[in-house]
Structure 1
């Protein structure tokens, strides 16, 4: 991806070998924070209205949505078989100069409409919609 006009971009992997999600988040925050703001962020959205790895119902969600959160936060999705992980915090994502939300399918279009009337704690994508350009495709 980092070729031609994009060759000046910086790629920071959100992976910390040998560390669990908590230690990895701490280490990665130190790498990510000096590189903020983000120029462009493209967010997806799950049918449960999560985005990035900001999952509704996760115990860490309110911390990850706090304006004082570290750039990278640990997250453990609740009620799923998903593994613990790290995610950019809402604060880090909100630094983006341009925010795009890309959704595919009728189910996600319905979820997006619902998210617009919910709080970010119930629908994490809602936090980003006021400043986002939404792109939807039926397939």
Structure 2
């Protein structure tokens, strides 16, 4: 289990209060990166949970022209598809103050992630890593990023000795094929957040914190590095 010193749980009454607080913390981390090295790199997650966060973050005052945004993972669909994570980022985050940010999507126009992996890796290699900020989510099955239970490349993705930055992923619960950053890449972030909502997610989180848990999120919780958990019912 990860010690309390490495996990910080920030609990809020509702999703808007959580989004506002998390947005403010992320903006501070991005400003610090810009002050330190002249630019900032952030990877965000998709799904329904971060919608309020993206809207709040889009209004934060900082030099967004020095910020590059990418995704933790992506469904292998174009941004014309309503299930595209890129589509949501473009609609909700890359607006207002954040309209000046550079966005690097993970999807390319090939039939499968395996066919497009070379181009995706070229894009990823051009990013000035490590990430300054990574915002993870978590599904009711304990997945984070595209680390799904039963994933065909789950072992590779969670192996911190694996030097691959991104991998394709297919799993029964994933719907479409996916592309995902590996755990090793995500854990190198300067600031790592886990953003979850709902009592059911808190139960899953508690299960993942138990010794021997095989839930994918447990691999993040067991990593020897600080994790900022933002949660509301």
| TM-score (norm. length: structure 1) | 0.86
Corresponding residue for residue 128 of structure 1: 220
- Cα distance change of structure 1 residues 41 and 119 upon mapping to structure 2, 3 Å threshold: farther
What's the CA shift for 1:19?
A: 4.4
Contact 2:167 2:180 survives alignment (8 Å): yes
Query: What secondary structure, in the 3-state scheme, does the structure 1 residue paired with 2:203 have?
Result: helix
Which of 1 and 2 has greater Rg?
Answer: 2
- What stretches of structure 1 of length at least 5 have no aligned partner? none
Query: How far did residue 59 of structure 1 move?
Result: 2.0
> Which aligned runs of 4 or more in structure 1 are off by greater than 4 angstroms?
1-4
Partner of residue 142 from structure 2, selected from 49, 73, 87: 49
The question of whether the paired residues in 2 share the 8 Å contact of 1:26 and 1:73 is answered with no
CA–CA separation in structure 2 for the residues paired with 1:88 and 1:81? 15
Q: Greater share of helix residues, 1 or 2?
A: 2
TM-score (norm. length: structure 2)? 0.53
Distance 1:62 1:15 in 2: 22
Output the aligned Cα RMSD: 2.1
Q: CA offset at residue 71 of structure 1?
A: 1.0
Shift of 1:30: 2.4
Which 5+ residue runs of structure 2 have no aligned equivalent? 1-57, 69-102
- The whole-number CA distance in structure 2 between the counterparts of 1:38 and 1:95 is 7
Q: Which among 59, 63, 68 is matched to residue 162 of structure 2?
A: 68
Q: Distance in 1 between matches of 2:121 and 2:174?
A: 26
Once residues 177 and 114 of structure 2 are traced to their aligned partners in structure 1, the CA distance between those partners, rounded to angstroms, is 9
Residue 90 of structure 1: aligned partner: 183
Q: Kindly tell me: are residues 57 and 81 of structure 1, through their superposed partners in 2, closer, same or farther at Cα, counting changes over 3 Å?
A: closer
